[in-house]
Structure 1
Amino acid sequence: MSYLELRDIHKSYYLGKEEFPVLKGIDLNFDLGEFVSILGESGGGKSTLMNIIGGLDRQFQGSVTVNGKRLDHNDEKALDTYRRDTIGYIYQAYNLISHLSVIDNVLIPLDMTTLNKSEREARAMQLLERVGLKEQAHKYPNQLSGGQKQRVAIARALASDPKVIIADEPTGALDAQNTQEVLQILDDIAAEGRLVIAVTHSQSVADAGTRIVHLEDGQIDKDTKLRDAYATDETPRLKSKLLPASVSYKTAYKHFKYNFWRNSLIVLGTAIGLFAVMLFSGLGNGIKGYINKQVNDMVNPQVVSVSRYQKTSKSAAADAQAAPSSSGGASQAGPSAAAGGAATTSTKKVSLTDKQINKLKNLKHVDQVDKVYSASGVTAKYSGKTATISTLQNWNASATTNTIKYGHKPKAGEVLIDKKSVAKTFSKNDYKSLIGKTITLSYKTLNKDNKMVTVKFKAKVAGITSTSNSMGMAFDNYVNTKTLTSAMKANNVDTTASGVAVSVDKLDNVNATTKKMNQLKMNGKRLFTATSVSSIIGTVQTYVDLATNILAAIAAISLVVSALMIIVTMYMSVSARTKEIGILRALGESKKDIRRLFISESLIIGVLSATLATVVAIGGELLTNHLLASIANFAFVQITIGNVVTVFVIALVISLLAAMLPARSAAKLNPIDALSAD
């Protein structure tokens, strides 16, 4: 039994319904150790027969048997394995891959063997040395002569240690000297116990083999033995394996690098869109952070302002006074503490009883409940100078030490005064010297008998406050609670509070606790109106998020353009590399390998685009924050790790989607048609 057997091979081409037979019943046997020349004129079916033997052509009638096993031409994976294991190709046009170096071309089939990296590289260099090109290993095909290119093709054909070498017009483009050298190499290959099949139309080339098969008009008219075949042995040969994914990535990178400037423009275009998305996201983060900081500087975000629930319009006005928007998160005091007729409803209607306050204290997550008092239109006097305090509030849970620039929070008999409206009125150039000094405070209000009285007391300055934010603040002046209530009692002013500041244990529990407070009832009636600053922050941040997302969406339009650029580039790459695809398929790479090659190249573009966008965005972040430092000492652009990860994910998704159709188109190319492409 011969190693390779062809039985009743028929092949026709069709133009419309008209049939053009090319092979008309070919029966041939080939043995290892033979150097068989298939001789014939152009158009006689030589190349078609070669493609059938090489497992490239699947559309024919008849059978091909290899080492006693019939080859299934309907099983594409089996044909891929057959080409990897058994076949090595040498082409008249060399068919080297231009963007790979000489050694990389030889390594293509070696990457589909079980050799490790160092063994593959060593074998590639040995083969190049055998064909006299060791010194040219790191050159590119366009730097070689025709004879050198053919020698590289021979080294590549031998790389995977195949048993069958198919040479298609191996000397057709060579001069006489190179022709003789190549024929000698082919004869040496047959002497190693391989089967060499050379397709040629040259009688002199055919005479160099051990046997000539003459093909005429699709049929064999002569089969002449020139000399005995070479002896064969059972020397173990290399084993093949599927192409590792890492090789596709490396090949894709090499092609990217080979066409660096063209690909760089695509990377730049994609990076611009990604940069815009990242920068706008960072701007949104910064603005939200700035808002949080401004609010937190004014009021403790873990405090909920609570007042009596009222349905009347007058009570609604009282509730509005209790909201953080006018008081920095603390409830207004009852009418007993208000000045100038600030309260117009009765104390019983708006005051909070101890029983009601206890209901708040007993809620889960509540740490502390402070009564809130405030006095309006307060006059402050020191050393013959007078300053007006619009609102003076007791120090309670809603207050924050962030506003205290000098000194400490007020203890018994102490007060905090605002730098701008009070301290500088008393001492413009040396206002800090007021700390420790005693000032006189007074305001007018109604007592329990509904008569206007003046509440007057002295307090030592504990510190000076200053609101550095631009959002403004109603309560910049604070007095110790006991100091204020003592003065109120001394003038028969009711100290029952209409509002309290409720401190919640954790920020995450504020919204849920606020909701529970608003749901508390007594005798079927709602008790409280509770407002938290976190809900206000959340509302503002919703608008910020909306604006940020709109800007990011506008920036995303450029990403659509980038995706189209990648799609067009990939299709152009498939078109330009059609022959390369045919070469890789002929060497044993599968459709999956081809798809992965082009997808890998697209993903490289995506990763580099995201990397460039990240670098530029971070640079833009630093520059923008530096330029805005004169406006406010705050980072208005804050690019987070999450933003970076999001941009990389977007880049990879765009690249993957953009490459899918071109990669699929490349994988579906017929290897024979691909090899014949210009």
Structure 2
Amino acid sequence: MAFLELHDIRKAYYLDKEAFPVLKGIDLQFSRGEFVSILGESGGGKSTLMNIIGGLDRDFEGQVLVNGQVLDHAKEKQLDDYRRAMVGYIYQSYNLISHLTVLDNVLIALDMTTLSREERRARALKLLDQVGLSEQVHKHPNHLSGGQKQRVAIARALASDPQIIIADEPTGALDSENTQEVLALLDNIAKDGKLVIAVTHSQEVADHGTRIVHLADGKIDGDQRLRPAYPIPAAPTVIKPKQLPATASYRMAFKHLMYNFWRNSLIMLGTAIGIFAVLLFSGLGNGINGYIQDQINSLTNPRSITVLKNPTGKRLTQDQVQSALMQNMAADPQSMVLSNGDFNRLAKLADGASVEKGNMIGGYRLNYGKLQQSGTNMTTWNKSVTASSIKHGHRPGNNEIVLTKQQAIQLAGPRSYRQLIGKQVKLSFNWVNKQGAPVAIEGTVRVAGLSEGASAGTTINYATMQRLLRQHDADARPNFAVFVAKKLSTVESTANQINNLRNGQNERILSAITVGSVLKTVNTYVRLASTILAAIAGISLLVSVLMIIVTMYMSVSERTKEIGILRALGERKKDIRRLFTSESIFIGLFSAILALGIVAVVSLILNHALYGLIKYNIVQLTVGNVIFAVVVAVIISFIAALLPARHAAKLNPIDALAAD
């Protein structure tokens, strides 16, 4: 039984609706060990017949049988498997892939076999040694002569151990010496039990084979046996084929990227600038949020909640609470008193770390020597006040008070105000007793420290305040509390619980003031601004997408013949798509790395320049920002490559091979 059979093969090309027959009923049989030359003039249908035998041309009538099995040309997957397992091509124009080395040009066929990596490399080197190119394995095709290129093509055709070798005018571009060498190699291939089919218009080449089939005007007009077919080896080698693994596509894409690195670097730079802008604004947003939070935290403990009596019984905003506080402190200070029951209810809240009692005075006077200074809103020291607000001295201890810098300047002068620390001052204010009658309070306290900045305030030791009030039979009950939450994340919810505490008449009894809501609002605005700026910067990424799309289309155009070569070797449409999308992904990945490098340098410069002014790193990148940059770069690169990759995969292999 013949190894390869052609039955009534007919093929026509159409111009508009007019048919131009090329093959007019071809019936041929081929056996292993034959070196068959298909001889004929140009335009006689030789190349068309070769494409049908090689599984590239699907649009024809008739049957092709391999080992007695019909090869269904309507099934693309079956043809891919057939080319991968059975066919090796040798072209007149060599059709080597320019960005791959000699060794890599042979390895691309071996990537679609079950051999291990070491076995593939060893076989490729062995084949190159057999064709006399062991010293040229690391050169690129543009550094080889025509004869050397053809020998690389022969080594590649033999790499996966195919049973059919199709040679299209294999000596058409060679001188006489190289022609004899190539013909001898083809003859040796036939001796190994392979079927060699050489398409040629040269009688000299045809006479070198075992058989000549003459094709004229689409018909067989001669079939001459020159000598018997070579015997088939008793134990022929068999290399099992497999579909191209994804890693092979990635390696090839990376090699092409590196081969054209400087051209692709412009695309990477453009994409990196867009990603850099998004990263920078995100980092600025993080830094500004952090700076604001740091500043607010330096003014007050963010986990603290100031709790006051709610005299209205209704839900009050923080501004309304502050307003009611000032009015009631002057008109009816006893209405602000917190009962033991209030403290007990606060202590039972689940997230409480501590509850602290405090006293707040609406107005007071300070005397030092002959100088006097009046002030408003003096509070006892509590956990909502941070020690960082005290720029000189320390927090108030027993019988001590902390004044503001401005108060110290008015009492001691702008040059010697710091000398007031440790000195005694007279404190006086008006309060009420438990019956509501006015009481004048006086006492001497020592200045423990001076506070400055936005958080500056007058604070006195709680025990000292209690002693002063009791000494004058004044009402010493606390009029505010400081509730400290265990977690910052629960401050807002706990404040809501406090605001919802009610008495028997279903009236609200307490009001909570937190810095968390203010901080949350400010951070929301900052995040919104940084997001808008990042989005505006992200528009540049659209330009990058267009650049990648154009680059990929250019790459497809430049590599059209390469696509045809890969399809002829047995690669699927899926493999071609992956080749171009993976190269685009590499571009995106390198763009992200470049963007991270740029933003790291710019962040270092900005932080160094501004740290002396604000004592804070204003650009802060998180791990999330880095991951976002890499993911976005890869995704936009992948999306940008989809259309060009799809276009590449849909190319007709025959047309692709014919491209210049």
Q: Same fold (TM over 0.5)?
A: yes
1:671 alignment partner AA: P
1:302 aligns with 2:283: no
Distance verdict in 2 for CA 1:248–1:430, change over 3 Å: farther
Distance verdict in 2 for CA 1:65–1:354, change over 3 Å: same
Is the Cα contact below 8 Å between 1:112 and 1:242 reproduced in 2?
yes
Between 1:540-549 and 1:67-76, the stretch displaced more is 67-76
Output the CA distance in 1 between the equivalents of 2:220 and 2:432: 125
1:529 aligns with 2:511: yes
Output the CA distance in 2 between the equivalents of 1:556 and 1:377: 55
Helix, strand or coil for the counterpart of 1:134?
coil
Helix, strand or coil for the counterpart of 1:607?
helix
Distance verdict in 2 for CA 1:419–1:146, change over 3 Å: same
Output the CA distance in 2 between the equivalents of 1:444 and 1:527: 26
What is the aligned-residue RMSD (CA, Å)?
A: 2.4
Is the Cα contact below 8 Å between 1:332 and 1:498 reproduced in 2?
no
- Aligned residue runs from structure 1 range 449-488, under 5 A: 454-467=440-453, 472-473=454-455, 475-488=456-469
Among 629, 632, 653, the residue aligned to 1:650: 632
- Aligned residue runs from structure 1 range 434-583, under 5 A: 436-445=422-431, 454-467=440-453, 472-473=454-455, 475-522=456-503, 523-583=505-565
Output the CA distance in 2 between the equivalents of 1:449 and 1:423: 38
Cα deviation per residue 1:431-467 (whole Å; 9 max; x = unaligned)?
Answer: 7665544333233456667776543222234444444
2:31 alignment partner AA: D
Between 1:423-432 and 1:663-672, the stretch displaced more is 423-432
- Aligned residue runs from structure 1 range 354-393, under 5 A: 354-376=340-362, 378-382=364-368, 389-393=375-379
Cα offset, 1:127, TM superposition: 1.4
1:292 alignment partner AA: Q
Cα deviation per residue 1:337-367 (whole Å; 9 max; x = unaligned)?
Answer: x5xxxx23x3454433332332222222123
- Tell me the equivalent position of 1:397: 383
Is the Cα contact below 8 Å between 2:373 and 2:410 reproduced in 1?
no
Output the CA distance in 1 between the equivalents of 2:401 and 2:115: 84
Helix, strand or coil for the counterpart of 1:115?
coil
Output the CA distance in 2 between the equivalents of 1:405 and 1:356: 35
Is the Cα contact below 8 Å between 1:389 and 1:422 reproduced in 2?
no
Output the CA distance in 2 between the equivalents of 1:585 and 1:200: 23
1:666 alignment partner AA: A
- Tell me the equivalent position of 1:633: 615
Output the CA distance in 2 between the equivalents of 1:591 and 1:320: 68
Cα offset, 1:374, TM superposition: 2.7
Distance verdict in 2 for CA 1:434–1:219, change over 3 Å: same
Helix, strand or coil for the counterpart of 2:162?
coil
Output the CA distance in 2 between the equivalents of 1:72 and 1:129: 37
Distance verdict in 2 for CA 1:665–1:615, change over 3 Å: same
Helix, strand or coil for the counterpart of 1:457?
strand
Output the CA distance in 2 between the equivalents of 1:134 and 1:384: 105
Cα deviation per residue 1:506-544 (whole Å; 9 max; x = unaligned)?
Answer: 212211111111222211222222222111111111111
Distance verdict in 2 for CA 1:321–1:403, change over 3 Å: farther
Helix, strand or coil for the counterpart of 2:104?
helix
Helix, strand or coil for the counterpart of 2:293?
helix
- Tell me the equivalent position of 2:645: 663
Is the Cα contact below 8 Å between 1:366 and 1:505 reproduced in 2?
yes
- Tell me the equivalent position of 1:32: 32
Is the Cα contact below 8 Å between 1:334 and 1:498 reproduced in 2?
no
Distance verdict in 2 for CA 1:579–1:380, change over 3 Å: same
Output the CA distance in 1 between the equivalents of 2:509 and 2:367: 40
Output the CA distance in 2 between the equivalents of 1:452 and 1:4: 119
Output the CA distance in 2 between the equivalents of 1:293 and 1:457: 37
- Tell me the equivalent position of 2:402: 416
- Aligned residue runs from structure 1 range 9-48, under 5 A: 9-48=9-48
Cα deviation per residue 1:551-574 (whole Å; 9 max; x = unaligned)?
Answer: 011001001111111111111111
Cα offset, 1:492, TM superposition: 4.3
Is the Cα contact below 8 Å between 2:368 and 2:411 reproduced in 1?
no
Output the CA distance in 1 between the equivalents of 2:325 and 2:459: 13
Helix, strand or coil for the counterpart of 1:25?
strand
Cα offset, 1:185, TM superposition: 1.0
- Tell me the equivalent position of 1:237: 238
Distance verdict in 2 for CA 1:333–1:491, change over 3 Å: farther
- Aligned residue runs from structure 1 range 239-318, under 5 A: 239-311=240-312
1:122 alignment partner AA: A
Cα offset, 1:639, TM superposition: 0.5
**Structure 1: runs of 5+ lacking an equivalent:** none
Cα offset, 1:58, TM superposition: 1.0
Helix, strand or coil for the counterpart of 1:7?
strand
Output the CA distance in 2 between the equivalents of 1:631 and 1:332: 37
Distance verdict in 2 for CA 1:591–1:675, change over 3 Å: same
Output the CA distance in 2 between the equivalents of 1:424 and 1:626: 38
Cα offset, 1:378, TM superposition: 3.9
1:183 aligns with 2:169: no
- Aligned residue runs from structure 1 range 75-86, under 5 A: 75-86=75-86
Distance verdict in 2 for CA 1:591–1:143, change over 3 Å: same
1:227 aligns with 2:227: yes
Helix, strand or coil for the counterpart of 1:629?
helix
- Tell me the equivalent position of 1:5: 5
Output the CA distance in 2 between the equivalents of 1:667 and 1:422: 82
Cα offset, 1:484, TM superposition: 1.3
Helix, strand or coil for the counterpart of 2:532?
helix
Cα offset, 1:219, TM superposition: 0.8
Output the CA distance in 1 between the equivalents of 2:616 and 2:8: 84
Aligned length: 658
Cα deviation per residue 1:117-160 (whole Å; 9 max; x = unaligned)?
Answer: 22222221221122122212111111112121111111111111
Between 1:412-421 and 1:154-163, the stretch displaced more is 412-421
Between 1:425-434 and 1:503-512, the stretch displaced more is 425-434
- Tell me the equivalent position of 1:168: 168
2:3 alignment partner AA: Y
Is the Cα contact below 8 Å between 2:307 and 2:511 reproduced in 1?
yes
Is the Cα contact below 8 Å between 1:281 and 1:639 reproduced in 2?
yes
Identity fraction in percent? 54
**Structure 2: runs of 5+ lacking an equivalent:** none
1:676 aligns with 2:653: no
- Tell me the equivalent position of 2:138: 138
1:603 aligns with 2:585: yes
Is the Cα contact below 8 Å between 2:37 and 2:200 reproduced in 1?
yes
Q: What's the TM-score, normalizing by structure 2?
A: 0.94
